[in-house]
Amino acid sequence: MNDVKITAKYINARISPKKTAIVLDLVRGKSLEEAKKILAFDRSKPGKMVLKVLKSAEANALNNNKMEKDKLFVNRIWVSGAPMQKRMKAGAKGRADPILKRYSHIYVSLGERAGK
């Protein structure tokens, strides 16, 4: 078995890492087809973004590395924080209250199972 890991990433996704991590836990370790089904029925914004990255990783595996589709599974999937946009909002007594617009980096790594 070759130990090739296929990756895809979504840099500067306009969603907070905390919200994205909840969706990633749903598909971690699942087969590719099962993960795509779960994300296809998830109507949340991070669900759509993660599905987009998963499909990109699948295309990388099939087209660039000639892997078999039915053996692929989600090997690693993680999110990290990206630089935030910092804004200010008028607060009480002439103060300024911060607004942090959070961004994420979403990473997907696929592996190939030996069986099947």
Is the pLDDT score of 3 beyond 70? no
Q: Which of 64, 72, 67, 69 is CA-nearest to residue 29?
A: 72
d(CA 85, CA 75): 31
pLDDT at 114: 82
Q: Which helix (H) or strand (E) holds 24?
A: helix 17-27
Q: Which of 10, 9, 6 is CA-nearest to residue 65?
A: 6
CB 1, CB 88: distance < 8 Å: no
d(CA 39, CA 51): 6
Per-chain mean pLDDT for the chain:
93
In the numeric block, the tokens 């296929």 are attached to 6
Is the pLDDT score of 116 beyond 60? no
Tens of pLDDT, residues 80-115:
999 999 999 999 999 999 999 999 999 999 999 886
